[in-house]
């Protein structure tokens, strides 16, 4: 499996043409099928529109490059009709809130793990406190644009399970009130005991005839039902306050989310810097004010990279490196 950070920011190489075709930029997610459908790339003609490589055409994702067969595997926006809906949906998964079906926020999705066939195998969740955990793809109900919904099967051991458990006694209280509302149905078995003690010789006839009379004339047996229901009432309110304490962590989420975004940007920038260092510039690049960043044919050094970053010419330098 590969993390998304292991794929993004790598050069895309054609192994039949021996050419570098651009840099991998983003992952195009097919959320209903839980796969990476394509990889978008950025090349020297990036300003002309989106270009992408269907993940089926990716030969391998190595430590230093993504390899494909040839440049014909790259699709322009006009030729990417099958991917147009996915481009419009623009579901990234990373950065979305992870929430259970019962409404408990677990944290933010900070990474996805991708199989060799492009399938999403796992997701990494980071809580506002900084701790991380993983859920498998079969524990995810929906990959949404802003929220990733985790199914209850993936929440074993979480706090919300303990809060959900006390719901069972609450069902018994309505059952007791229903029993009190129907005293006639339970008065019949109660009437069998006193009648059976007096006429010992004829238990069957006496039990059938007085049954209707006792239910209308003697309300005393009905008083026994509320006594049984009385002990259950204190159990319900004693456990209700538990769910209220779980909503508090939501306020701290933006901090973790922004920190993770900055961390991912730093990783991509470092990877890009390492790739460019030592290469040569194919043409002269200047700042907007005319200051030369690097001459054509000169080596790309740390100083050149720093100037390119300050002059907002980093992408132009990347497209001119060889």
Q: What is the CATH number of the domain that holds 78?
A: 3.90.50.10
Mean pLDDT, rounded, for 129-157: 84
Q: What is the pLDDT of residues 118-131, one digit of tens each?
A: 999 999 999 999 99
Specify if 263 maps to a domain. Answer: no
Find the helix or strand (DSSP H, E) in which 292 lies.
Answer: strand 292-294
Q: What is the mean pLDDT of the chain?
A: 73
Mean pLDDT, rounded, for 150-160: 52
Question: Which pLDDT band, with edges at 50, 70 and 90, does 152 fall under?
Answer: low
Distance CA 181, CA 222 (A): 10
Q: What is the pLDDT of residues 260-313, one digit of tens each?
A: 666 666 766 777 777 778 888 888 888 888 888 888 888 888 888 888 888 788
Distance CA 249, CA 121 (A): 27
What pTM, to 2 d.p., does this model score? 0.47
User: Does residue 194 surpass a pLDDT of 80?
Assistant: no
User: Does residue 175 surpass a pLDDT of 60?
Assistant: no
User: Does residue 208 surpass a pLDDT of 60?
Assistant: no
Q: Tell me how many domains the chain contains.
A: 4
Specify if 265 maps to a domain. Answer: no
Alpha helices, DSSP H only, in the chain? 84-89, 159-164, 167-181, 183-197, 203-208, 210-217, 224-229, 235-238, 253-276, 302-310, 314-319
User: Does residue 116 surpass a pLDDT of 80?
Assistant: yes
Are 68 and 23 part of one and the same domain? yes
User: Does residue 220 surpass a pLDDT of 70?
Assistant: no
- Give the 3-state secondary structure of 51-120: EEEEHHHEEEECCCCEEECCHHHCEECCCCHHHHHHHHHCCCCCCCEEEECCCCEEEEEEEEEECCCCEE
Are 195 and 173 part of one and the same domain? yes
Specify if 151 maps to a domain. Answer: yes
Are 10 and 32 part of one and the same domain? yes
Are 44 and 66 part of one and the same domain? yes
Are 47 and 123 part of one and the same domain? no
User: What pLDDT does 264 receive?
Assistant: 65
Mean pLDDT, rounded, for 220-234: 43
Domain end among 181, 209, 238: 238
State the residue range of the domain holding 8. 2-89
Neighbours of 140 (CB within 10 A): 21
35 versus 214: which is more confidently predicted? 35
User: For the domain that residue 136 is a member of, what is the CATH number?
Assistant: 2.30.30.240
Specify if 141 maps to a domain. Answer: yes
- Give the whole-number percent of the chain exceeding pLDDT 90: 37
Specify if 251 maps to a domain. Answer: no
User: What pLDDT does 148 receive?
Assistant: 96
Residue 319 near residue 302 (C-beta atoms within 8 A): no
Are 138 and 172 part of one and the same domain? no
Q: What is the pLDDT of residues 89-111, one digit of tens each?
A: 989 999 999 999 999 999 999 99
Are 7 and 60 part of one and the same domain? yes
Residue for token pair 């132009």: 316
Question: Which pLDDT band, with edges at 50, 70 and 90, does 153 fall under?
Answer: low
Specify if 209 maps to a domain. Answer: yes
SS3 255: helix
Are 17 and 49 part of one and the same domain? yes
SS3 11: strand
User: What pLDDT does 36 receive?
Assistant: 96
User: Does residue 245 surpass a pLDDT of 70?
Assistant: no
Domain end among 89, 109, 129: 89
User: What pLDDT does 12 receive?
Assistant: 95
Domain end among 138, 162, 186: 162
User: What pLDDT does 258 receive?
Assistant: 59
Q: What is the pLDDT of residues 248-261, one digit of tens each?
A: 444 444 455 556 66
Are 292 and 316 part of one and the same domain? yes
Specify if 272 maps to a domain. Answer: no
User: What pLDDT does 31 receive?
Assistant: 93
Are 84 and 103 part of one and the same domain? no
Specify if 61 maps to a domain. Answer: yes
Are 74 and 118 part of one and the same domain? no
């Amino acid at each position: 499996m590969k993390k998304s950070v292991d794929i993004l920011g790598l050069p895309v190489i054609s192994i039949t043409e021996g050419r570098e075709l651009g840099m991998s930029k983003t992952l195009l997610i097919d959320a209903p099928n839980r796969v990476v459908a394509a990889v978008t790339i950025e090349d020297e003609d990036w300003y002309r529109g989106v270009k992408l490589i269907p993940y089926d055409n990716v030969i391998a994702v190595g430590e230093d490059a993504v390899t494909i067969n040839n440049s014909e595997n790259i699709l322009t926006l006009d030729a990417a009709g099958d991917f147009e809906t996915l481009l419009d949906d623009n579901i990234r998964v990373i950065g979305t809130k992870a929430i259970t079906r019962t409404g408990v926020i677990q944290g933010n999705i900070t990474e996805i793990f991708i199989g060799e066939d492009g399938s999403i195998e796992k997701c990494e969740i980071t809580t506002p406190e900084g701790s991380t955990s993983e859920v498998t793809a079969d524990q995810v109900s929906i990959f949404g644009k802003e929220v990733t919904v985790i199914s209850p099967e993936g929440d074993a051991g979480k706090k919300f399970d303990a809060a959900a458990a006390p719901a069972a006694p609450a069902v018994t209280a309505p059952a007791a009130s229903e029993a009190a509302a129907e005293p006639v149905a339970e008065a019949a078995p109660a009437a069998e005991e006193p009648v059976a003690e007096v006429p010992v010789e004829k238990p069957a006839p006496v039990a059938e005839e007085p049954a209707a009379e006792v239910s209308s004339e003697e309300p005393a047996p009905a008083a026994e039902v509320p006594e049984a229901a009385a002990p259950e009432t204190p159990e319900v309110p004693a456990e209700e306050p538990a769910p209220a304490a779980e909503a508090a962590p939501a306020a701290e989420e933006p901090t973790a989310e922004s920190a993770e975004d900055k961390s991912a940007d730093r990783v991509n920038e470092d990877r890009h810097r390492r790739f460019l260092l030592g290469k040569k510039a194919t043409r002269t690049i200047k700042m907007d004010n005319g200051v030369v960043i690097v001459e054509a044919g000169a080596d790309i050094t740390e100083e050149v990279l720093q100037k390119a970053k300050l002059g907002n010419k980093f992408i132009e330098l990347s497209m001119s490196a060889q």
